[in-house]
Amino acid sequence: MRSIEFRGISTRPAERETSLQFVIDGVSFLELVREAELPGALAEQLAADYAPSTSLSAEHLLGGAPDRVPHGVEDDEHLLLGCTCGIDDCWALVARIVADDDTVTWSDLRNAYQDWDYRSIGDLTFSRQDYERSLRAAFGAG
Protein backbone atom coordinates (compact mmCIF):
# COMPACT_ATOMS: atom_id res chain seq x y z
CA MET A 1 0.00 0.00 0.00
CA ARG A 2 1.24 3.47 -0.91
CA SER A 3 1.12 6.61 1.21
CA ILE A 4 -0.42 9.85 -0.03
CA GLU A 5 -0.44 13.38 1.24
CA PHE A 6 -2.67 16.09 -0.18
CA ARG A 7 -1.17 19.55 0.21
CA GLY A 8 -3.34 22.59 -0.34
CA ILE A 9 -1.51 25.31 -2.24
CA SER A 10 -3.05 28.77 -2.42
CA THR A 11 -2.84 29.76 -6.08
CA ARG A 12 -4.88 32.96 -5.96
CA PRO A 13 -5.30 34.05 -2.34
CA ALA A 14 -7.56 37.00 -3.20
CA GLU A 15 -9.99 34.61 -4.90
CA ARG A 16 -9.54 31.92 -2.23
CA GLU A 17 -8.50 29.46 -4.94
CA THR A 18 -6.53 26.42 -3.84
CA SER A 19 -4.82 23.67 -5.80
CA LEU A 20 -3.95 20.30 -4.37
CA GLN A 21 -0.47 18.91 -4.69
CA PHE A 22 -0.27 15.11 -4.40
CA VAL A 23 2.75 13.58 -2.65
CA ILE A 24 3.05 9.80 -2.99
CA ASP A 25 5.53 7.94 -0.81
CA GLY A 26 7.26 11.26 -0.18
CA VAL A 27 7.63 12.12 -3.89
CA SER A 28 5.64 14.72 -5.81
CA PHE A 29 3.10 13.06 -8.10
CA LEU A 30 4.12 15.60 -10.77
CA GLU A 31 7.67 14.23 -10.60
CA LEU A 32 6.46 10.62 -10.91
CA VAL A 33 4.42 11.58 -13.97
CA ARG A 34 7.28 13.48 -15.58
CA GLU A 35 9.61 10.50 -15.17
CA ALA A 36 7.04 8.12 -16.69
CA GLU A 37 6.40 10.45 -19.63
CA LEU A 38 10.04 11.22 -20.39
CA PRO A 39 10.63 8.47 -23.01
CA GLY A 40 7.49 9.42 -24.96
CA ALA A 41 8.12 13.13 -24.61
CA LEU A 42 11.71 12.79 -25.89
CA ALA A 43 10.63 10.60 -28.81
CA GLU A 44 7.99 13.14 -29.84
CA GLN A 45 10.06 16.20 -28.88
CA LEU A 46 7.16 17.29 -26.72
CA ALA A 47 7.09 18.31 -23.09
CA ALA A 48 4.09 18.04 -20.80
CA ASP A 49 3.42 21.04 -18.66
CA TYR A 50 1.11 20.02 -15.84
CA ALA A 51 -0.10 21.92 -12.84
CA PRO A 52 -2.21 20.78 -9.92
CA SER A 53 -5.81 21.25 -10.96
CA THR A 54 -7.87 23.73 -8.99
CA SER A 55 -11.18 23.10 -7.32
CA LEU A 56 -11.12 19.30 -7.17
CA SER A 57 -13.55 18.21 -4.50
CA ALA A 58 -13.01 15.49 -1.93
CA GLU A 59 -15.91 13.58 -3.54
CA HIS A 60 -14.11 13.71 -6.91
CA LEU A 61 -10.89 12.40 -5.34
CA LEU A 62 -12.81 9.56 -3.66
CA GLY A 63 -14.13 8.31 -7.00
CA GLY A 64 -17.52 10.02 -6.86
CA ALA A 65 -18.97 11.89 -9.81
CA PRO A 66 -16.14 13.79 -11.49
CA ASP A 67 -16.18 17.54 -10.86
CA ARG A 68 -15.67 18.03 -14.58
CA VAL A 69 -14.82 15.83 -17.54
CA PRO A 70 -12.30 17.42 -19.91
CA HIS A 71 -12.59 16.90 -23.67
CA GLY A 72 -11.46 13.43 -24.74
CA VAL A 73 -11.99 11.91 -21.30
CA GLU A 74 -14.42 9.13 -20.42
CA ASP A 75 -17.20 9.74 -17.89
CA ASP A 76 -15.59 7.38 -15.36
CA GLU A 77 -12.18 9.03 -15.53
CA HIS A 78 -11.16 11.62 -12.97
CA LEU A 79 -8.96 14.62 -13.65
CA LEU A 80 -5.79 14.62 -11.54
CA LEU A 81 -3.60 17.20 -13.25
CA GLY A 82 -4.42 20.00 -15.65
CA CYS A 83 -2.38 22.30 -17.83
CA THR A 84 -0.33 25.18 -16.43
CA CYS A 85 -2.39 27.53 -18.62
CA GLY A 86 -5.32 26.87 -16.27
CA ILE A 87 -7.53 25.19 -18.87
CA ASP A 88 -7.99 21.53 -17.95
CA ASP A 89 -9.08 20.64 -21.50
CA CYS A 90 -5.71 21.79 -22.79
CA TRP A 91 -3.58 19.04 -21.25
CA ALA A 92 -5.29 16.64 -18.84
CA LEU A 93 -3.91 13.69 -16.88
CA VAL A 94 -6.71 11.43 -15.71
CA ALA A 95 -7.22 8.14 -13.87
CA ARG A 96 -9.99 5.90 -12.73
CA ILE A 97 -10.53 6.30 -8.98
CA VAL A 98 -12.21 3.48 -7.09
CA ALA A 99 -12.84 3.55 -3.35
CA ASP A 100 -14.02 0.69 -1.19
CA ASP A 101 -14.28 0.39 2.58
CA ASP A 102 -10.53 -0.04 3.07
CA THR A 103 -8.72 1.38 0.05
CA VAL A 104 -8.70 4.04 -2.66
CA THR A 105 -7.06 3.07 -5.96
CA TRP A 106 -5.98 5.24 -8.87
CA SER A 107 -5.62 3.14 -12.02
CA ASP A 108 -5.39 3.51 -15.79
CA LEU A 109 -3.44 6.76 -15.71
CA ARG A 110 -3.41 8.48 -19.07
CA ASN A 111 -2.92 11.77 -20.80
CA ALA A 112 -6.03 12.73 -22.76
CA TYR A 113 -3.95 13.75 -25.79
CA GLN A 114 -0.88 11.51 -25.86
CA ASP A 115 -0.55 7.74 -25.86
CA TRP A 116 2.21 7.60 -23.28
CA ASP A 117 3.08 4.67 -21.04
CA TYR A 118 2.43 5.03 -17.31
CA ARG A 119 3.15 1.43 -16.33
CA SER A 120 6.19 2.56 -14.35
CA ILE A 121 3.77 4.27 -11.96
CA GLY A 122 1.26 1.42 -12.04
CA ASP A 123 -1.92 1.32 -10.01
CA LEU A 124 -1.69 3.38 -6.84
CA THR A 125 -3.55 1.93 -3.86
CA PHE A 126 -3.87 3.86 -0.62
CA SER A 127 -5.36 3.19 2.81
CA ARG A 128 -8.78 4.86 2.70
CA GLN A 129 -8.47 5.96 6.31
CA ASP A 130 -5.13 7.72 5.67
CA TYR A 131 -6.35 9.08 2.33
CA GLU A 132 -9.44 10.66 3.89
CA ARG A 133 -7.43 12.03 6.83
CA SER A 134 -5.06 13.78 4.42
CA LEU A 135 -7.95 15.10 2.33
CA ARG A 136 -9.63 16.56 5.43
CA ALA A 137 -6.38 18.24 6.47
CA ALA A 138 -5.85 19.71 2.97
CA PHE A 139 -9.40 21.07 2.90
CA GLY A 140 -8.98 22.52 6.39
CA ALA A 141 -11.50 20.18 8.00
CA GLY A 142 -9.24 18.61 10.57
Query: pLDDT of 59-75, one tens digit each?
Result: 999 999 888 778 888 88
CB 70 within 8 A of CB 58: no
**pLDDT per residue over 77-111, tens digit each?**
999 998 888 777 778 899 999 999 999 999 999 99
DSSP 2: B
**Taking the model in full, what pTM does it have?**
0.88
